[in-house]
Chains A and B, each alone.
Chain A
Amino acid sequence: GQQVMQIPQYQHVQEGEDFTTYCNSSTTLSNIQWYKQRPGGHPVFLIQLVKSGEVKKQKRLTFQFGEAKKNSSLHITATQTTDVGTYFCAGPPTIYDKVIFGPGTSLSVIP
C-alpha cells in the first residue's frame, strides 16, 4: 500500500536559522497537504498543493510539490519560537482516496 515518509524525524535549530522537511511518497499523489501540530494540540491544515512542480508561499513558509508528484518539501526561513511543532505531510493517490499522513518532522527552535 501507499507509504509516506518524511525526513528528518527531528530537527533542532537556533532561532533565525532556516529549516526544511522533506516528504516522499511511494506512489504518485493527486495532491499533497501539510499540517502543523503544536505540542499537545491537534493537526491544523496549512496548505495544499495540486499541480506538478507547484510552489506556494505563506510568509516565511515555502511549500513545493515535486515534478513527479511523489515528493514535497516545506522550508521555513528564519525560524521563530512560534514555529515549534510537528509538521506532517499527507496525501492520497486520487482525490477520492483517504489521506495518508507521513510520520512528521518535529521542529524545536532554541531561542
Chain B
Amino acid sequence: EPEVTQTPSHQVTQMGQEVILRCVPISNHLYFYWYRQILGQKVEFLVSFYNNEISEKSEIFDDQFSVERPDGSNFTLKIRSTKLEDSAMYFCASTALLQSTDTQYFGPGTRLTVL
C-alpha cells in the first residue's frame, strides 16, 4: 500500500536555528498538509497546500513557517528561527481530493526537539 514518508525521523536543533522537515506524499495525491502534535496533546492543523500554493493556514502558521514543493515529489516545512515551543511531532499528510471526505494518509512524523 502506498505511504507517506518523512525525513528525518528525529531532528534536534538549537533555538534560533532553521530547520527543514521533508515529506514525500503519496505519488498521485494532489493535496498536502502539515500538522503538529505537542507531546501528549492533540493533532493541530498547520497548513494545507495545493497547486504550489497555500490553501489554508492556521494561526499557528506564522511568518516563521513556510512550505514548499521544490520538485515533483517532495513537500517541505521550514521553520526559520526555531523556538523552544516548536518542539513537537510534525506530521505530513496527503489526500487525492480537496475534500475532507477523502482519507488523509499521515506520514510517520518527524520529532523536532529544540534546545
Q: How far is the CA of A98 from the CA of B106 in the complex (A)?
A: 15
Q: Are B45 and A98 in contact (CB under 8 A)?
A: yes
B14 within 8 A of A: no
Q: How far is the CA of A30 from the CA of B98 in the complex (A)?
A: 14
Q: Are B103 and A48 in contact (CB under 8 A)?
A: yes
Cβ-neighbour of B48 out of A31, A94, A98 (below 8 A):
A98
Q: Are B42 and A101 in contact (CB under 8 A)?
A: yes
| Minimal Cβ-Cβ distance residue in A for B57 | A98
Q: How far is the CA of A43 from the CA of B48 in the complex (A)?
A: 17
Residues of chain A with a CB closer than 8 A to B100's CB: 30-31, 33, 91-92, 94-99
The interface on chain B, measured as residues whose beta carbon lies within 8 A of the other chain's beta carbons, has a size of 22
For residue A41, give the distance in angstroms from its CB to the closest CB of chain B: 8
Q: A48-B101, A92-B100, A96-B99 are in contact. Are A43 and B106 (CB under 8 A)?
A: yes
Interface residues of A, dominant DSSP: loop
Q: Are B101 and A99 in contact (CB under 8 A)?
A: no
A:33-60 near B, CB below 8 Å: 33, 35, 41-45, 48, 50
| Minimal Cβ-Cβ distance residue in B for A29 | B100
Q: A43-B91, A88-B42, A88-B43 are in contact. Are A99 and B98 (CB under 8 A)?
A: no
| Further contacts, 5 of them, CB under 8 A, given A30-B100, A50-B101, A91-B100 | A33-B104, A42-B91, A45-B106, A99-B45, A101-B45
Which residues of A are at the interface with B, using a C-beta cutoff of 8 A? 30-31, 33, 35, 41-45, 48, 50, 88, 90-92, 94-104
In the assembled complex, 8 residue pairs joining A and B whose CB atoms fall closer than 8 Å, in A order, are A31-B101, A43-B43, A43-B91, A44-B106, A45-B105, A99-B45, A101-B43, A103-B41
